[in-house]
Amino acid sequence: MLSRALRPYRQSLVQTKGVNQRGAKARFVRSSMLVLLLLVPVTFIGDRLLGAGLEWLLLESNFRYSRLYGGTAQADVVVLGNSRGHAFYEPEMEKLSGRTIFNLSYNALPISVGRALVEDYLDRYTPSVLVVDVSMLTKTEEQITNSFKAYESLSPRLDKLIERSSEETSTASQIFSLYRFNSEVFHRALYYLAKTDDDWILDKQISATMARNSRDLDRVSFRITKDRMRDLRHIIEVAERKGVTVNLVMGPYYPGYLKKISNLDQFLATIETATGYEVEDYSGLIRQDAMFSDYLHLNKDGSSIFLAELYEDEVF
């Protein structure tokens, strides 16, 4: 009897509890939606504000590309190359020639990025000479291209180049401003905030073991793609239109490594035929082990000999 009497009350409690649960769930959903609606614009604004701050920091750096886009890179002579371009040691070049030097070289720099950098430079400055180390035509490393995303908002050419290289990188950089600054190139810009960027040359001697092992190196063959040659020709054409003298150079290689390059003469002849320019070949200029830091790079002493020869030959 009592159980029957309480049954309606129990049903009412269950119904009330269900209504309360549905109401709490609805309130939770509304609260979550509100948080999300607030979080999206706050995240977007925060990303853009922090990105603007990092770009300001980028342009305050003494790093070569920050100077290029920051308006402080005027020079008489501009150098373009990969890591071998660091042998064009700016203080020594300026001491020899009495002219100002600006080096656009970067480790493993592809000629496609070099093309964008040279065009951007010539849009902003008026050098008299452009020196190109043609060894940068031997290969392309896409990860280096994408590292220049830190500067893509300052250069439509770099922006397009990165988009062609990696659509994912380009899209992410457009959506998230901070993503542009997650790169090796930006980290170097931070490093040069409080120091000059004119001394990238290695100051060590090749080890005896490395020198001895050069006898066992595999043969090396240099390959030029149509795209790389097109980029070099374009650089020359743009420089010519601006009245800039272009000098093409092949710098020294360690003698043991030089012997392993199977097609160097053909490589240089191909460039000369395609461009109509002679390549000044200094690949065998230096024979002493003590002048090299490794197979590909001169040290500071080797660079001094190399640059003295270049100056004597009026390359800069």
How sure is the predictor about 202, in pLDDT bands with cuts at 50, 70 and 90? confident
Residue 242 near residue 201, CB atoms below 8 Å: no
Q: Are residues 4 and 102 in the same domain?
A: no
Share of the chain above pLDDT 70, in %: 86
Regarding pTM above 0.95, the answer is no
Cα–Cα distances (Å) from 12 to 8, 39, 60, in that order, read 6, 40, 71
Q: Are residues 124 and 207 in the same domain?
A: yes
Q: Is residue 244 part of a domain?
A: yes
Q: Is residue 4 part of a domain?
A: yes
Q: Is pLDDT of 5 > 60?
A: no
Q: Is residue 165 part of a domain?
A: no
Parallel, antiparallel, or unpaired: how do β-strands 77-80 and 129-133 relate? parallel
Q: Is pLDDT of 163 > 80?
A: yes
Q: Is residue 117 part of a domain?
A: yes
Q: Are residues 135 and 244 in the same domain?
A: yes
Q: Are residues 204 and 285 in the same domain?
A: yes
Q: Are residues 233 and 306 in the same domain?
A: yes
What is the C-alpha to C-alpha distance for residues 61 and 45, in angstroms, rounded to an integer?
A: 25
Q: Is pLDDT of 300 > 90?
A: yes
Q: Are residues 121 and 18 in the same domain?
A: no
If phi > 0 it is left, if psi is from -120 to 50 it is alpha, else beta; for residue 34 that is alpha
Which of 164-168, 215-219, 311-315 comes out lowest in average pLDDT? Answer: 164-168
Mean pLDDT for the stretch of residues 127-139: 96
Q: Is residue 175 part of a domain?
A: no
Q: 72-113 pLDDT, tens per residue?
A: 999 999 999 999 999 999 999 999 999 999 999 999 999 999
Q: Is residue 135 part of a domain?
A: yes
pLDDT score of 237: 98
pLDDT score of 176: 87
Q: Are residues 6 and 138 in the same domain?
A: no
Q: Are residues 17 and 112 in the same domain?
A: no
Looking at every residue in the chain, the average pLDDT score rounds to 90
Mean pLDDT for the stretch of residues 284-310: 98
pLDDT score of 1: 53
pLDDT score of 16: 53
Parallel, antiparallel, or unpaired: how do β-strands 101-103 and 279-281 relate? unpaired
Closest CA relative to residue 231, chosen from 137, 158, 142, 151: 137
Specify the number of domains making up the chain: 2
Q: Is pLDDT of 290 > 60?
A: yes
Q: Are residues 29 and 136 in the same domain?
A: no
Q: Is pLDDT of 124 > 80?
A: yes
Parallel, antiparallel, or unpaired: how do β-strands 77-80 and 101-103 relate? parallel
Q: Are residues 20 and 84 in the same domain?
A: no
How sure is the predictor about 49, in pLDDT bands with cuts at 50, 70 and 90? confident
Q: Are residues 231 and 299 in the same domain?
A: yes
What is the C-alpha to C-alpha distance for residues 275 and 138, in angstroms, rounded to an integer?
A: 16
Going across the sheet that includes 101-103, the strands are 101-103, 77-80, 129-133, 245-250, 279-281
Q: Is pLDDT of 306 > 80?
A: yes
Give me the domain span that covers residue 37: 1-43
If phi > 0 it is left, if psi is from -120 to 50 it is alpha, else beta; for residue 139 that is beta
Q: Is pLDDT of 10 > 60?
A: no
Mean pLDDT for the stretch of residues 20-48: 64
pLDDT score of 13: 46
Q: Is residue 164 part of a domain?
A: no
How sure is the predictor about 36, in pLDDT bands with cuts at 50, 70 and 90? low
Q: Are residues 99 and 17 in the same domain?
A: no
Q: Is residue 249 part of a domain?
A: yes
How sure is the predictor about 174, in pLDDT bands with cuts at 50, 70 and 90? confident
pLDDT score of 21: 61
CATH code, domain carrying 98: 3.40.50.1110
